[in-house]
Amino acid sequence: MGVEIQVHVNGKSFQNEVDPRLLLVHYLREVLGLTGTHIGCETSLCGACTVLIDGHPVKSCTMLAVQADGAEITTVEGLSSLPEAGGGLHPIQEGFWEKHGLQCGFCTPGMMLAAVGLLRENPSPTHAQIRRALDGNLCRCTGYQHIVEAVEYAARKLRAHKR
């Protein structure tokens, strides 16, 4: 009944037999114990569960674990091991800390991964572009303005890093 999958999560390889109906977010949280990826709705509306799949932000509650077979996944726990983090906090994590981009922190992992996805495609986004890119990620605490500033902070830092 179980289906064999192999995934690379935060640079490590995992092989598991999973129930075909297991959601990817449950696989990450319950099977791998990576609880930094949160669940805010399970209906692909809130973005709390956003992870990077092959470099692109994806809501991990919209996907089955079996569909992720062979994929390269980055969760919040893996942000600081990305090359641009330089061994410390990733610039986006730093940005959220510096700019008070989080309050309760529940939306934050998903927000940060959506932002990393944006910055890979557009290293110098305008405020409007940041806001649009984060429209699939809901935050009830911050009112978003500090999140916009956090993403700008990370963009600046990442651009400097590239130079």
Partner 1 sequence: MATAAKATKYVGKPIKRKEDPRLVQGIAHYVDDLKLVGMLHMGIVRSPYAHARIRSIDTTKARSAPGVVSIVTAEDVDGAIGPVPCGAMIPDMKPAPRPVLATGEARFVGEGVAAVVASDPYALQDAMELVEVDYEPLPVVVDPEKALRKDSPRVHDVHADNAAYRWELEGGDIKKAFKQADRVIKVHLTNQRLIPVAMEGRAVLAQYDRGDNRITLWSASQIPHILRTQIAAMLNFPEYGVYVIVPEVGGGFGSKLNVYSEEALACYLAMKIEKPVKWTEGRRENFLATIHGRDQIADMEFAVKRDGTVLGLRAHFIADLGAYFQLLTPLIPTLTGLMCVGPYKIPNVRAEITGVFTNKMSTDAYRGAGRPEATYFLERGMQAVATELKIDPAELRRKNFPKAKEFPYATATGLIYDSANYQGTLDLALKKSEYKKLRREQAAARKSKTGRLMGIGLGSYVEICALGPSSAMPSGGWESATVRIEPTGRVRVLTGSSPHGQGEETSFSQIAADLLGVTMDDVIIVHGDTSAVPYGIGTFGSRSLAVGGTAMYRAIEKLRDKLLKIAGLVLSEDPANLVLRNKQIVSKRDPKKSMSFADAVGAAYTAKALPPGVEPGLEATHFYEPTNFTFSFGTHIAVVDVDPETGDVKLRKYIAADDCGNVINPLLVEGQLQGGIVQSVGQAYFEEAVYDDQGQLLSGELADYAIPRASDLPWIETYNTVTPTPVNPLGAKGVGEAGTIGATPTLVNAVLDALAPLGVRNIDMPLKRERVWKAIREATAGPSGRPRRAK
Contact of residue 12 among partner 1, ligand FES, none (CB under 5-8 Å per partner type): none
Measured from the CB atom, the residue of 41 and 123 that comes closer to ligand FES is 41
Other beta carbons less than 10 A from residue 75's beta carbon: 24
Reduced to 3 states (helix: H, G, I; strand: E, B; else coil), residue 21 is: coil
Q: Assign 26 to helix, strand or coil.
A: helix
Which tokens sit at 6?
Answer: 């192999």
61 binds, among ligand FES, partner 1, none (CB under 5 to 8 A by kind): ligand FES
- Residue 26 carries which side chain, given as an amino acid letter? H
Closest approach of ligand FES to the CB of residue 128, in Å: 20
**78 by DSSP, 3-state: which?**
helix
Binding residues (CB under 8 A) for partner 1: these are 19, 21-22, 26, 29, 34-43, 45-46, 48, 75-77, 79-80, 89, 93, 96-98, 100, 102-109, 112, 127-128, 130-132, 134-135, 137-148
